Amino acid sequence: MSGFPRSGLTFSDGVLQMTVAPTAMSATDVKRNGWASNIQGQAYKIDSPGAVPATAIKRRGIAYSPDGGMYTDTTAPAATAVKFSGYVVRPDGAMHIDKVSSGTITLGQRRNANGVWITT
């Protein structure tokens, strides 16, 4: 079962609402398909400009912390990035995201010219 985009997440004009992952999950957090979000539907992210830790759990090529925060990278994708199923991922599993305000909406998700998800 695919979790992208999954129900329960908050979108605004195609922009996925994300927030920095807490140091520990709360009782009201939701975790589906390995990805955690808060009760408001904001998906948890962990900005990872460096290498994803060895403790990361990969699901469909995307790396998550054991608590469910998605490892993300806000830099432009390198030639080694993998593009599949509507998202762009570094070889170590960190998903490329962008915080610009423009882009086209494809399958309900706003993306930039590189196909990278636009998030908050």
Q: Tell me: the pLDDT tens digits for 39-90? A: 888 899 999 988 999 999 999 899 999 999 999 999 989 999 998 877 899 9
Q: Which domain holds residue 27?
A: 11-118
Q: Would you say residue 13 has pLDDT above 80?
A: no
Specify the pLDDT at position 2.
39
Does residue 72 lie in a domain region?
Answer: yes
The C-alpha atoms of residue 63 and residue 58 are separated, in whole angstroms, by 4
Does residue 1 lie in a domain region?
Answer: no
Does residue 5 lie in a domain region?
Answer: no
Give the contacts of 66 (CB within 8 A, at least 6 positions apart). Answer: 55, 57
Q: How confident is the model at residue 1 (pLDDT cuts 50, 70, 90)?
A: very low
List, in sequence order, every beta strand (DSSP E) within 1-120: 11-12, 15-16, 18-20, 30-32, 35-37, 43-47, 57-59, 62-64, 70-73, 82-84, 87-89, 95-98, 104-106, 109-111, 117-118
Q: Would you say residue 5 has pLDDT above 70?
A: no
Dihedral of CA 6/28/117/103: which sign? Answer: positive
Q: How far is CA 95 from the centre of its chain?
A: 6
What's the total number of domains in the chain?
A: 1
Comparing 65 with 3, which gets the higher pLDDT?
65
pTM above 0.85, yes or no: no
Does residue 6 lie in a domain region?
Answer: no
Q: How many CB atoms are closer than 10 A to CB 54?
A: 6
Specify the pLDDT at position 101.
66
Does residue 4 lie in a domain region?
Answer: no
